Structure 1
Amino acid sequence: MLTLRIGIVQYELAPLQTEADFWDGIRQDVEQAKADQVRLLIYPEYLTAHLLALSSPLAHDQAAPYIDGFTERYIRFFSDLSRDSGIIILAGTHIHREGNGYVNEAYLFFPDGRIETQQKLHLTPEERNCWHLTPGNHLNVIDTEFGRMAILICYDIEFPELSRIVAQQDVVLILNPTYTDQAAGYYRVRYCAQARAIENQRFVALSGMVGMLPYIPQIDAGYAESGCFSPCDYPFPPNGILNIAPDAQKTVVIADLNLSELKRNWAQGQVSPYKDRKPELYQQLAKQVPNSSR
């Protein structure tokens, strides 16, 4: 039986007095995760945007280079932290310069020094029109000792094609770091994450932010109930929730992912929506449907 214990950080946006407060808070999370025997720790989207709390309010075109100024420290800090703790760490996402623009990119740090990344593929209107970010165009399927993983950042989970692509590459766990500032945004991501878990028969782990920084326009508030989801079928809970934060408060959600049970679901589930899909039929049906006049 292969089991992976994950810790999902429901991260709190709160005032920062110094930069050290930011890094020290993360270090404390990791120390507790190690004590709890966590093997993979997951942080939310826009993690380093919390450092904007150290600055006076900035316009978006000023905020991106400000955050990018922490890139070298960010990579060095999490590389050392993963090595020293022995924990794989998804260090949320970080906005940094690439080419002539800026990207929103997730970093997955391994104790052996390996770093895997994934850029956000679908940008929200705010990211396009205010941040002026550049979308990614590559999906990274990541090999680990626990099986293959992929990272779909926030809005990306709302596009089922992406999850289907990585499922076809034998991914067992989709990491979904998110930032949503209102309940409606959270539930869009949450219900899509659960749908992806059901239709692809995979685990999906969602990490979000809570708290308020009303004087920081880019991350003025966060709303989330972070959790880990499974198929709604044998041998998992009927509601497909392995564990979830009880409310929108700072916490770490721990879930034990039994990868043997996941494979048992593929073979013995009451239904098998991943295996029973009919792509050839869907193509035929799409051709039969007349084009819309709109």
Structure 2
Amino acid sequence: MKTSSIAAVQYGIGPLRSENEFWNRIRRHVAKAQTQGAGLIVFPEYLTGHLLSLASAMNNEQACEYLHRFTDEYKSRFVRMSRETGLMILAGTHIHREGAPSGPSGAAAYYNEAFLFFPDGRIEGYKKIHLTPEERRAWPLLAGDRYTVLDTEMGRIAMQICYDIEFPESTRIVADMGAEIILCPSYTDAAAGYWRVRHCSQARAVENQLYVVLSGLVGQMPGVEQVDAGYCQAGVFAPCDKPFPDNGIIAVGSPNRNGLVTGAADLALLAQNRAEGGVSPFYDRRPELYASAATRLPSS
């Protein structure tokens, strides 16, 4: 089985002077991942939200429409970068309204979607399924409703966007579909949010005996209400069981520093863990009991 190196980005936000500066920052991360021998680089949730620093203050609806206007350029640039470098690129998430129905009053609605770019030009998307209370209340966003597992040269990959990873059912579904590596682009603006996503990422790795790769935004963007600050320690996580490290950490970054964290996702070790680990939570479930108990729960 193949050993692949994955780079998770702690992407630093801050004031931008131009669109070119934004794209140059992206290219530097991709070039560094390539130099370090990575086959895949994972950027964070709300990556293109950094472009809001180029505009005047706006409300959430205006911000979504502003970001949507970059959709074609976003796709074309990442297609080109993936093809030129030979890397798979999880290009964070991007807010857009392609294929989105209008709201009840005719207002535009948008998706928060992660896009995975392949060197052969293929693009695969995953729309965030679990919107946070704030995203539901204050943003014109629509939730996704489809789980996908992708066959890649690196293994079978699924995406879970930030809050999605806090729901065990979602990761279990894609694990049952064959996922071996979960990519989790995130955006958390404070330490508490980060640790929720981090602890849940490691819990999902333990429960499902697979790898989870976490990336996030770091830094501050004064005056941009939608993406004003980021807190993250990106990492690559595995089960806390042999043959992996006791704490399940393959690689982890320094808190809140712009840069890359690179770790190996060795599918042979994953197979060894599932066959010889001290525990086997992926196999030792009792779904019949759970289903029976669930039917006896009082209705709300």
Normalising by structure 1, what TM-score?
0.97
Query: Residue 283 of structure 1: CA displacement?
Result: 2.0
1:113 match: 121
- 1:248-287 alignment runs, 5 A limit: 248-287=256-295
CA-atom RMSD in angstroms: 1.1
For each residue in 1:103-145, what CA deviation from the matched residue of structure 2 results, as whole angstroms up to 9, or x when unmatched?
0000000000000000000111221121120101111111101
Determine whether 1:95 maps to 2:103.
no
Aligned to 1:149: 157
Instruction: Give CA-to-partner distance per residue, 1:81-112, whole Å, 9 cap, x none.
Output: 00000000000000001232100000000000
Q: Does 1:234 align with 2:255?
A: no
The worse-fitting range, judged by mean Cα deviation, of 114-123 and 279-288 is: 279-288
TM-superposed deviation, 1:284: 2.6
User: Which string of whole-angstrom CA distances, capped at 9 and with x for unpartnered residues, describes residues 177-214 of structure 1?
Assistant: 00000111111111111110000001000001100012
Q: What does residue range 100-179 of structure 1 map to in structure 2 within 5 Å?
A: 100=102, 101-179=109-187
User: Which whole-Å CA distance do the structure 2 matches of 1:10 and 1:224 have between them?
Assistant: 7
Distance, in Å, in 2 between the alignment partners of 1:32 and 1:87 is 11
Specify the SS of the correspondent of 1:143: strand
Instruction: Report the 3-state secondary structure (helix = DSSP H, G, I; strand = E; otherwise coil) of the residue aligned with 2:141.
Output: coil
Asked if the contact 2:10/2:232 (under 8 Å) is kept, the reply is yes
- Aligned pairs for 1:189-204 (under 5 A) are 189-204=197-212
Report the Cα distance in structure 2 between the residues aligned to 1:246 and 1:190, rounded to whole angstroms: 14
1:214 to 217, 222, 236: 222
Q: 1:287 to 1:135 in 2, by over 3 A?
A: closer
SS of 1:280's equivalent in the other structure is helix
Question: 3-state DSSP class of the match of 1:219?
Answer: coil
Q: Which residue of 2 aligns with 1:63?
A: 63
- Partner Cα distance (1:225, 1:33) in 2: 17
Q: Which amino acid aligns with 1:120?
A: K
SS in 2 for 1:171: coil
The aligned amino acid for 1:193 is S
Secondary structure, counterpart of 1:206 in structure 2:
strand
| Cα distance in 2 for residues equivalent to 1:190 and 1:31 | 26
Matched, 1:188 2:188: no
Count of paired positions = 292
1:211-233 Cα shifts (integer Å, max 9, x gaps)? 00121000000001110110000
Deviates more, 1:74-83 or 1:22-31: 22-31
- CA distance in 2: counterparts of 1:285 and 1:104, whole angstroms: 35
Give 1:247's match in structure 2, choosing from 245, 255, 258.
255
